[in-house]
């Protein structure tokens, strides 16, 4: 990791081809290293006994877990690095109840076959808890009632099925406590870690939940949801008293469409089962839920329409939420709690600055500042992100987020080039808050617009299901409608709109150049599928139990003609605007072949394309060196075709693992 010593203001460059029409930018250029390098500290968590603080920070340029003592709720002494990853950043970790260890997850080169490791706080000794190569593990539960243990799901027996294992984190010894022989896609344990509630997807795409009244009892129906309700309905926690299950549901009359949070009597369907609506919001679905670690009962729930808003459920916690709301600007997230529930770590997210983290003492109602994620962002010319609700051509509300170059005033300033930044999934959503891509592009002189097109999650089942089998159709129309809105508002220059995104966003970029070849000035595809037939043929085996969902929302392999009709590679001859592609060689979701085949098809037809391949990445770029390298290529590419400013590529590509199989000569400075 290089040390940043200045803002490198002398390295501001403008594409010569567009030098006369480059938009005026009053702000100095923010170096990529500030925006895409490692955070200084992030992801704070308090240990279960409240005596330690952990967070992620660079160790020799790679994000590792650090730990610092807490004395009376205040950091004491110097933080010390605990883990020793030398290649990939550690991004998933937690303390183990008992407070003598942490656990973290790590894959190899982005293959998403995560293994779980335990590390002793005192000695630093590390133990692999899931020593099965080529398998994928995740943590189902940790609990104060089970010190020095984790409940894990892992597919070591069958690549398509996840079993539940109880593992001792000190010895690494474990035992299978639930063998998944029913195609279950979720498992809920009770307080004794017996799996008592499971769900699976049926061939028609509906969701079935079954329960057993005792650990060895017979499985009985608990609930079921039609396909239309299946994506937004599911049980998510069993109360520790064993009397209730808390369920998200969009099928019941009290909270149709956006759904609600329900408490359901833990009983088989039709045998005295009762449903009680706890909370709902007509604008959006329930989001993050704060669960009482002692009772497993929900205490508060966040609803996110334009921004995240907490609603208290437990009156005892309402004063704490009210206090936190006044601590700092932005929306807050409670990231951890001590076992006695006295100490919380709380992260405040804002749109024009770094994340601020506090340690909150519930006894004194005092929040002590801990750190910001990236202090070098302070004082830089960052800009605000504005929520906008844009109407689609058929009347849907598209919640979107707009970021404008500093000093730009719609209606007064001359329209500027715009980047339409499309989220992945597509069953996901864009949100308000600090976004390095928005800040980076706005700083280079572009308006940036992110759109929650139909098919995005969180806005109700009707909005989600409106995207079924609408790839390259109405989902794409929403992106075009939002772009035209920006033109009509005097924000975007209609001749200089780029489309960019990752995963489904990469597909949208390819669709933009093939299904609407005259609309976008250029496109940037990051790990996006080009052929929906080969995409669905190559999904990971553990997605197999959800095959019906892909068939209903995307299309069926039984109808390859239809899948070909929504595949950009089918219409590669239509591409007439510049294209940049980024791909991770180890991507398990969108295989390297998805990028290879469209690049080959374009080269065969002498259609220019630039292709950047990272041999040590998967579905996106986790290593900062690689992220900065692709960003360097992207901003030079955009400057050439949109006319914005850019920081020259310099050594960013050579210091990464990037390979350039095609089109290095098409991007300014890349051949050097």
Residues 6 or more apart whose CB falls under 8 angstroms from that of 385 comprise 351, 352, 401, 402, 403, 432, 433, 435, 438
Q: Look at strands 447-451 and 186-189 and give their pairing.
A: unpaired
Rounded Cα–Cα distance for residues 629 and 612 (Å): 9
Task: Average the pLDDT over 286-303 and give the result.
Answer: 96
Whether 3 has a pLDDT exceeding 70, the answer reads: no
Chain position carrying tokens 């089962």: 273
Q: 71: buried, middle or exposed (CB in 10 Å: 19+, 13-18, 0-12)? A: exposed
255: pLDDT confidence band, cut at 50, 70 and 90?
confident
Residues 6 or more apart whose CB falls under 8 angstroms from that of 21 comprise 643
Rounded Cα–Cα distance for residues 523 and 577 (Å): 8
426 upstream amide cis, omega within 30 of 0? yes
Task: Average the pLDDT over 288-316 and give the result.
Answer: 96
Reference 85, options 52, 54, 55, 108; nearest CA is 108
Strand segments (E) across 159-225? 161-168, 174-178, 186-189, 195-201, 207-211, 220-225
Whether 24 has a pLDDT exceeding 70, the answer reads: no
Task: Average the pLDDT over 482-510 and give the result.
Answer: 98
In this structure, what DSSP letter does residue 618 have? B
* pLDDT recorded at residue 98: 86
Rounded Cα–Cα distance for residues 633 and 648 (Å): 9
- Which percentage of the chain shows pLDDT scores above 90? 93
Rounded Cα–Cα distance for residues 84 and 60 (Å): 9
For the segment 534-547, what is each residue's pLDDT rounded down to a tens digit? 999 999 999 999 99
26: pLDDT confidence band, cut at 50, 70 and 90?
low
* pLDDT recorded at residue 487: 98
For the segment 452-472, what is each residue's pLDDT rounded down to a tens digit? 999 999 999 999 999 999 999
Q: Is the dihedral of CA 492, 498, 500, 506 positive or negative?
A: positive
Residues 6 or more apart whose CB falls under 8 angstroms from that of 50 comprise 70, 73, 338, 339, 340, 342, 343
Chain position carrying tokens 């020793």: 84
* pLDDT recorded at residue 256: 83
What CATH number should be reported for the domain whose range is 9-36+378-666?
A: 3.40.50.1820
Question: With the CA atoms of 258, 262, 266 and 271 taken in that order, what torsion angle do they form, in degrees rounded to the nearest 10?
Answer: -70
Task: Average the pLDDT over 122-149 and give the result.
Answer: 96
* pLDDT recorded at residue 536: 97
Rounded Cα–Cα distance for residues 216 and 94 (Å): 31
For the segment 309-354, what is each residue's pLDDT rounded down to a tens digit? 999 999 999 999 999 999 999 999 999 999 999 999 999 999 999 9
For the segment 408-455, what is each residue's pLDDT rounded down to a tens digit? 999 889 999 999 999 999 999 999 999 999 999 999 999 999 999 999
Q: How many residues can be counted in the chain?
A: 672
Whether 8 has a pLDDT exceeding 60, the answer reads: no
Reference 239, options 272, 267, 279; nearest CA is 267
Chain position carrying tokens 């989001």: 287
Residues 6 or more apart whose CB falls under 8 angstroms from that of 326 comprise none
Whether 15 has a pLDDT exceeding 80, the answer reads: no
Contact 22, 15 (CB under 8 A): yes
Rounded Cα–Cα distance for residues 54 and 538 (Å): 38
- Kindly calculate the radius of gyration of the chain based on its CA atoms and give it in whole angstroms: 25
For residue 576, count other CB atoms closer than 10 A to its CB: 10
Whether 48 has a pLDDT exceeding 60, the answer reads: yes
Whether 16 has a pLDDT exceeding 70, the answer reads: no
List residues bridging with 234 in a β-sheet: 248
7: pLDDT confidence band, cut at 50, 70 and 90?
very low
Reading the block at residue 672, the tokens are 């050097």
Residues 6 or more apart whose CB falls under 8 angstroms from that of 16 comprise none
* pLDDT recorded at residue 523: 98
Q: Which residues are tagged catalytic?
A: 503, 587, 619
CA dist 559 to 294, 378, 540, 551, Å?
50, 53, 20, 10
Rounded Cα–Cα distance for residues 620 and 36 (Å): 13
Q: Tell how many helices (H) and how many strands (E) occur in the chain.
A: 12, 39
561: pLDDT confidence band, cut at 50, 70 and 90?
very high
Reading the block at residue 232, the tokens are 């937004």
DSSP-assigned states of every residue in 390-428: EE-TTS-EEEEEEE--TT--TTTSPPEEEEEEE-SSSSS
What is the rounded average pLDDT for all residues in the chain?
Answer: 94
Contact 298, 264 (CB under 8 A): no
Strand segments (E) across 258-316? 260-265, 275-280, 286-291, 298-304, 308-312
Task: Average the pLDDT over 512-529 and give the result.
Answer: 98
Task: Average the pLDDT over 174-179 and give the result.
Answer: 97
Q: 3-state DSSP: the chain helix, strand, coil percent, rounded to 5? A: 20, 35, 45
Contact 188, 194 (CB under 8 A): no
Reference 263, options 221, 213, 313, 216; nearest CA is 313
List residues bridging with 522 in a β-sheet: 498
Rounded Cα–Cα distance for residues 46 and 5 (Å): 33
CB burial of 439-448 (b: ≥16 within 10 Å; e: otherwise) equals bbbbbbbbbb
- 49-53, 361-365, 408-412: lowest mean pLDDT where? 408-412
């Amino acid at each position: 990791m290089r040390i940043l010593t200045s803002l490198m203001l002398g390295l501001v460059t403008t594409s010569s081809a567009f030098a006369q029409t480059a938009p005026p930018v009053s702000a100095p250029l923010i170096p990529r290293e500030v925006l895409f390098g490692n955070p200084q500290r992030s992801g704070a968590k308090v240990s279960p006994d409240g005596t330690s603080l952990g967070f992620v920070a660079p160790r020799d340029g790679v994000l590792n877990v650090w730990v610092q003592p807490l004395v009376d709720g205040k950091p004491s002494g110097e933080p010390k690095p605990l883990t020793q990853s030398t290649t990939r950043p550690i991004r998933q970790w937690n303390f183990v109840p008992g407070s003598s260890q942490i656990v973290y997850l790590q894959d190899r080169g982005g293959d998403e076959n995560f293994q779980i490791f335990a590390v002793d706080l005192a000695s630093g000794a590390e133990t692999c808890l899931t020593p099965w190569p080529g398998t994928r593990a995740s943590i189902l539960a940790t609990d104060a009632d089970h010190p020095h243990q984790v409940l894990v799901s892992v597919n070591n027996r069958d690549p398509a099925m996840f079993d539940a294992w109880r593992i001792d984190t000190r010895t690494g010894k474990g035992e299978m406590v639930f063998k998944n022989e029913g195609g279950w896609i979720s498992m809920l344990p009770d307080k004794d870690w017996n799996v008592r509630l499971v769900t699976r997807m049926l061939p028609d795409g509906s969701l079935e939940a079954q329960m057993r009244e005792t650990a060895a009892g017979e499985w009985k129906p608990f609930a079921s949801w039609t396909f239309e309700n299946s994506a937004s309905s599911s049980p998510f926690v069993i109360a520790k008293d064993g009397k209730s299950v808390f369920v998200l549901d969009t099928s019941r009359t009290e909270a149709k469409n956006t759904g609600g949070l329900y408490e359901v009597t833990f009983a088989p369907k039709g045998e005295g089962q009762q449903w009680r609506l706890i909370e709902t919001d007509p604008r959006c679905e329930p989001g993050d839920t704060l669960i009482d670690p002692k009772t497993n009962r929900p205490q508060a729930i966040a609803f996110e329409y334009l921004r995240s808003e907490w609603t208290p459920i437990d009156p005892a916690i309402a004063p704490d939420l009210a206090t936190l709301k006044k601590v700092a600007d932005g929306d807050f997230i409670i990231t951890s709690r001590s076992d006695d529930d006295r100490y919380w770590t709380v992260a405040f997210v804002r749109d024009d600055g770094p994340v601020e983290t506090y340690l909150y003492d519930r006894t004194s109602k005092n929040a002590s500042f801990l750190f910001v994620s990236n202090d070098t962002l302070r004082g830089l010319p960052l800009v605000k992100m504005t929520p906008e609700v844009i109407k689609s051509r058929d009347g849907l509300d598209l919640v979107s987020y707009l970021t404008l170059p500093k000093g730009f005033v719609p209606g007064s300033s001359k329209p500027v080039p715009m980047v339409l930044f499309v989220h992945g999934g597509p069953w996901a959503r864009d949100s308000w808050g600090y976004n390095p891509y928005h800040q980076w592009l706005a700083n280079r002189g572009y308006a940036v617009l992110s759109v929650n097109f139909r098919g995005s999650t969180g806005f109700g089942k009707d909005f989600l299901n409106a995207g079924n089998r609408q790839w390259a159709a109405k989902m794409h129309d929403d992106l075009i409608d939002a772009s035209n809105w920006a033109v009509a508002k005097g924000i975007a220059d209609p001749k200089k709109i780029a489309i960019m995104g990752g995963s489904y966003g990469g597909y949208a970029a390819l669709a933009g150049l093939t299904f609407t070849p005259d609309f976008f000035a250029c496109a940037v595809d990051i790990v996006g599928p080009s052929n929906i037939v080969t995409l669905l043929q190559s999904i990971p085996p553990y997605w197999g139990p959800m095959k019906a969902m892909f068939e209903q929302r995307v299309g069926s392999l039984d109808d390859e003609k239809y899948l070909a009709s929504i595949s950009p590679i089918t219409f590669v001859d239509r591409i007439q605007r510049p294209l940049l592609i980024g791909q991770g060689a180890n991507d398990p979701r969108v295989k390297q072949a998805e990028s290879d085949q469209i690049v080959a098809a374009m080269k065969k037809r002498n259609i220019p394309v630039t292709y950047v391949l990272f041999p040590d990445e998967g579905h996106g770029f986790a290593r900062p060196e690689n992220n900065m390298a692709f960003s360097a290529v992207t901003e030079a590419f955009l400057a050439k075709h949109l006319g914005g400013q850019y920081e020259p590529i310099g050594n960013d590509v050579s210091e990464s693992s990037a390979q350039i199989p095609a089109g290095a000569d098409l991007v300014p400075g890349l051949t050097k």
